[in-house]
Amino acid sequence: MQAERMLEQWQTQGWLRPLDLAFASFIARYEPAQPLVWLAAALCSYQLKQGHVCLDLAKLQADPLLTLGLGAELAPNLQHALQQQLAAADVAQWHSALSQSAVVDSGTGTNPLVLTGNRLYLRRYWQYEQDIAAQINQRLAQNEQLTAQLPAEVLLPLIRQLFQQSAPQQSLLQPDWQQLACALACRSAFTVITGGPGTGKTTTVVRLLVLLQLLQLSRQQPLLEIRLAAPTGKAAARLKDSISGAISRLAAINIAGFSQIQQAIPVNVVTIHRLLGVRPGSKSLRFNRYQPLPLDILVLDEASMVDVELMASLLQALPVTARIILLGDKDQLSSVEAGALLAELCKKASAGDYRPATVSWLAAQTGQHIPDELISKDGSLLSQHIVMLRHSHRFGQDSGIGQLAAMVNKGQLDSAIWQEFPAELMLLKEAGTTSADFHQLVLDGGKVAQGYGYQHYLSLIIDDPLQPEQQDSWAQQILCAYSCFQVLAATRKGELGVELLNQQIQQILARAGLIAPEHQWFAGRPVMVTRNDYQLGLMNGDIGICLPKLIVQEDGSVASTLRVAFAVADGIKWVIPARLNAVETVFAMTVHKSQGSEFRHTVLAVAANDDGMLNRELLYTAITRASARFSLICAEPRQLENAVRRQTLRAGGLSLALAD
């Protein structure tokens, strides 16, 4: 049959997965006379791999290649053939076939496919989206009740004290968005605080937690039970450091009752999987809708990295009365798995979309006034719970990294910026990794002051400690030095993909005498955990470094053996290399894996055939991983101009399912 041959052809071409074809074959057994339904089922399954929660039929008809993300993966003749094949049916024909199908319903039944509007879902993902929307809507509905509990005479002096102000202060151009975020979140059971690097998301949330606890004390009520979570171990470690620093800074302010409050604000951060109690070897969770988490407030950092399945499980495990506060950068790459939750929630964040009543309430509570252009009489209910922090303390107006990131975010790129900021930005027009410039970059950052390279951390390993009790602090110093420099890639495979970059960087470092990689495990080898290991307490994304460790023998003598050092909440965890099965060398990592990290010097390597992977979000994420210097390896800068114009919009219907 024609449809069956078409699906097999697509798999032969290498883009349709065997899983997608198998699902279409399963559907065909129930709908043998509906080839359009088979095709829709295969494409709906395929879209999950692309990160989409559903298949948008209207977009599929308008631009099949863009919708399926196949612009660069197929040869021109195959692209043309695919467009012709999918042009044979219009949206009305898709609707007609799907609406009459025995395997499709509108969500009211139990069929494997759900059609709502122009969006076709696998039922499981439709249900995730519905569960998320229901949990958020339930919390949005508490707005009026929580607002009534906040008279201005209680909140205003507390905010002034927290922000060390004797009277309201405001820029002529912009209000203090951190104050507005704190006030808005006090009357909300669901809050999103978004903003780019250095805008103070963590500082804001710590002040918010203190403010909520101060309100509890003022009402003579018990302090709130707070938990902190992040998607990966690496993101959790960064949040822990940021929270600890922010609390220390607040401790210097004379706040009544702060010592008591400080004890009730945790600094330990766990991964979402650990918070939910994922059971080893299964998908069952200790905490769920029937056994909710024992907490009053959950703070979730790096929310852009959370997929719909995990977010649905997390929200269902929250008590009905619990608040949730999402932190993240809406412009970063979305989760590796399906969904773009933070981007969907923050569609109107830049525009503000605040109702006049919200603006008046915030002025009374904080003395801060929102600019007129951010006010809308028709603002959505969701927008009243979202604050975008707009001032970067890391990247000032004179920052080259900040200006480059802003350009990319706006879909614009002026090539002159590389010459304007030579201390912060470098463009290396290389097609490969054989040049002396690339070797110099890897070793010491390219001879730039504080540019860093891998020589920075490897030189510390030579000076290994003489006493076993010094090893933890020594390992901590090496891990910290390693995090100063990182090479990133757009893809895993290819000329400048992660796999080849890791091999070539390892060879460069070996020739320089910095490592001796005769065996798989060698001193200085950095590794990333690629699968959660609950027995070891290591999560996907955790990074460790193989180091010589001094071991005291039974006879009192000291021997040196290789162990892998990981930074964990309570110090350093030393692991025998043989225990680590799911790890990979990480001299280079993908931009996706770098989310939640910050490096002083970041290098992004882009190959000529990376066009299909390059887009605005990927470039923005790579650039903003750097705090002091960003270097780009790209033989053809025109690729960047095309990439910044290419914005990835994942298909989903969460925003449509939320209350107006």
Residue 225 burial by Cβ neighbours in a 10 Å radius (0-12, 13-18, 19+): middle
pLDDT at 166: 46
Rounded Cα gap, residues 446 and 443, in angstroms: 8
Is the pLDDT higher at 617 or at 295? Answer: 295
Q: How confident is the model at residue 280 (pLDDT cuts 50, 70, 90)?
A: low
Supply angle C-alpha 70, 76, 79, rounded to 5. 45
Is the pLDDT higher at 580 or at 233? Answer: 580
- The answer to whether the beta carbons of residues 264 and 304 sit under 8 Å apart is no
Phi, psi of 548 (to 5 degrees): -75, 125
pLDDT at 121: 93
DSSP 8-state code for residue 225: P
Percentage of the chain surpassing pLDDT 70?
93
Q: Among candidates 336, 328, 610, which has minimal Cα distance to 488?
A: 610
> What pTM did the predictor assign?
0.84
Q: How far is CA 524 from CA 443, 458, 500, 516, in A?
A: 14, 6, 19, 9
CA atoms within 13 A of residue 136's CA, in its CB half-sphere: 29
Q: Among candidates 654, 647, 653, 500, which has minimal Cα distance to 585?
A: 500
pLDDT at 172: 47
pLDDT at 258: 76
pLDDT at 305 over 90: no
pLDDT tens per residue across span 443-500: 888 766 556 889 989 988 876 666 777 888 899 999 999 989 999 998 887 788 889 9
Rounded Cα gap, residues 120 and 44, in angstroms: 7
Count of other CB atoms within 10 angstroms of residue 585:
20
Q: How confident is the model at residue 388 (pLDDT cuts 50, 70, 90)?
A: very high
- The answer to whether the beta carbons of residues 426 and 418 sit under 8 Å apart is yes
Is the pLDDT higher at 47 or at 237? Answer: 47
Low-confidence winner among 57-61, 174-178, 196-200 (lowest mean pLDDT)? 196-200
pLDDT at 73: 64
CA-CA-CA-CA torsion sign (304, 290, 274, 590): negative
pLDDT tens per residue across span 603-624: 998 886 655 667 888 888 899 8
pLDDT at 524 over 60: yes
pLDDT at 116: 92
pLDDT tens per residue across span 3-17: 788 888 888 888 889
Q: Among candidates 432, 448, 452, which has minimal Cα distance to 504?
A: 432
